[in-house]
Each structure stands twice: as C-alpha cells, then as structure tokens.
C-alpha cells in the first residue's frame, strides 16, 4: 500500500506560477515511476507529466511542454510539479500517482495508487 499526499494547489492569475508537491509513504518510492494527472469538471482525467524512478527521464503532455517541470527527490520521497505561465485551461484537480509495474506512462490505468488531489484554479 502506498499513500500519496498532494499539496501546493491554489488560486493564481493567468501567467502566474505554482509548485505542487506529492509526498509518498512507500519505502520503495525510489524504484517507482511517478506521474501527475489532472481532471477538470466534466472531463476525463488526463496525463500531465511523468518521471522515471531515477529522475533521468521526464515526459510531458504537449500542452504543458515548456511550461511545467516534473522533478523528484528520492531522499524525501517527494515529487514536484513546477507550473509556470499558467493558463485558465490549466484549471483542474491535480493528482499524483504511482506506477508500481511497467506500463505506458501516460495511461491512467498504468498507475496503481493515487493521491486525493489538489485544486488548481487559474483566473483570467
């Protein structure tokens, strides 16, 4: 069982920045691929970014490339999502997730454990 706790969401104006954090309880955290997803009202949960267990590889959804950066600190069992140049269309609940087995990094079904989510609201 892995417990994930997100933090750092909030209300920000368009063009602003936020940094999300996700702390994991797993002792084997450093061996897992981690991902960030988001879900806007009335829409399906969608992939945002993922990072390999070493942190050497990062993957992004096209609309956030160049604006968002995913990173991890395995010593702290924590991953981060630095979000810059935020847009109103980035408004959603953001979730972090753990992939304990192999699978496509952008698929919701590839992830086994999820946090409770943190709300990000970008005003125009």
Give pLDDT, residue 103: 84
SS3 87: coil
What number of CA atoms fall less than 13 Å from residue 46's CA on the CB side? 16
38-62: pLDDT as tens digits:
999 999 999 999 999 898 999 999 9
Share of the chain above pLDDT 70, in %: 100
DSSP code of residue 54? T
Instruction: State the Cα–Cα distance between residues 48 and 54, nearest whole angstrom.
Output: 19
Residue 121's pLDDT band (cuts 50, 70, 90): very high
């Amino acid at each position: 069982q892995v417990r994930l706790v997100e933090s750092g969401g909030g209300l920000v104006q368009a063009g602003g920045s936020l940094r999300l954090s996700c702390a994991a309880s797993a002792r084997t955290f450093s061996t897992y691929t981690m991902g960030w997803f988001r879900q806007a009202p009335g829409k399906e949960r969608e992939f945002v970014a993922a990072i390999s267990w070493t942190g050497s590889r990062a993957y992004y959804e096209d609309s956030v490339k160049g604006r968002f950066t995913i990173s991890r600190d395995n010593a702290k069992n924590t991953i981060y999502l630095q979000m810059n140049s935020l847009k109103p269309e980035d408004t959603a609940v953001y979730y972090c997730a753990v992939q304990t087995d192999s699978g496509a990094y952008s698929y919701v079904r590839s992830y086994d454990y999820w946090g409770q989510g943190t709300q990000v609201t970008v005003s125009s």
